[in-house]
Copies of this chain bind each other. A is one copy, B any other.
């Protein structure tokens, strides 16, 4: 049973650091969101749309996590937003310690909203508590309507599930009823919002939801 013991130790150490992140964010009055999705589901595009609508109204910062490259941080940074890049060095997720290192290196004063773009992965990021306020996931239409059934943990921990790329519905098979039934089984309380970062559909609904959760 050694392997299980090791895993438990790592996860409980992670949870202690997540609590530290929670306290730090509270102390600085920062509302933090962990944004998760498969590779290419539209995390960076959603960030750009969100920044576009909230810039000037809220202090926003972004943490970009990638296994390699700084392509996304470069895109966000060009919007004039405080952006920190985490390269996980091969790791398939952000853990509480990586987030803690990023938070410690940032000037959090004046930041109302901090969004962490996690590594593109529908599995591992869901396993690590980070100490954030909300977990949000994107599932995109071309990935198919069966994803809630096949990756239940991620769907079960998300406060909001965004269905992106609705503009592609005419060109692929996607049954919204099957998708939302799947989400309902594992997480009936999740907000379900249809969006298209390409056409702008639903982005206002998402931003309203986010502001509501922030108490704004």
A-B contact pairs, 20 of them (CB 8 A): A6-B6, A38-B40, A38-B120, A38-B143, A40-B140, A40-B144, A67-B123, A67-B153, A68-B152, A69-B146, A69-B149, A90-B123, A90-B127, A92-B123, A120-B151, A121-B121, A121-B123, A123-B124, A124-B124, A142-B142
How many residues does chain A have at the interface if contact means C-beta atoms less than 8 Å apart?
36
Interface residues of A in 143-188 (CB under 8 A from B): 143-144, 146-147, 149-153, 165, 167-168, 171-172
Give chain B nearest CB distance to A48 CB in angstroms.
14
A residues contacting B by CB (< 8 A) are 3, 6, 10, 38-40, 66-69, 71, 90, 92, 119-124, 127, 140, 142-144, 146-147, 149-153, 165, 167-168, 171-172
Give chain B nearest CB distance to A42 CB in angstroms.
9
Count of identical protomers in the assembly: 2
Most buried by B among A122, A142, A153: A142
Most buried by B among A119, A121, A146: A121
Q: Give the nearest-CB partner of A167 in chain B.
A: B171
Give chain B nearest CB distance to A175 CB in angstroms.
13
Q: Give the nearest-CB partner of A10 in chain B.
A: B3
Tell me the complex Cα distance, A119–B38, Å: 12
Tell me the complex Cα distance, A121–B149, Å: 15
Give chain B nearest CB distance to A81 CB in angstroms.
20
Tell me the complex Cα distance, A153–B119, Å: 14
Tell me the complex Cα distance, A165–B120, Å: 19
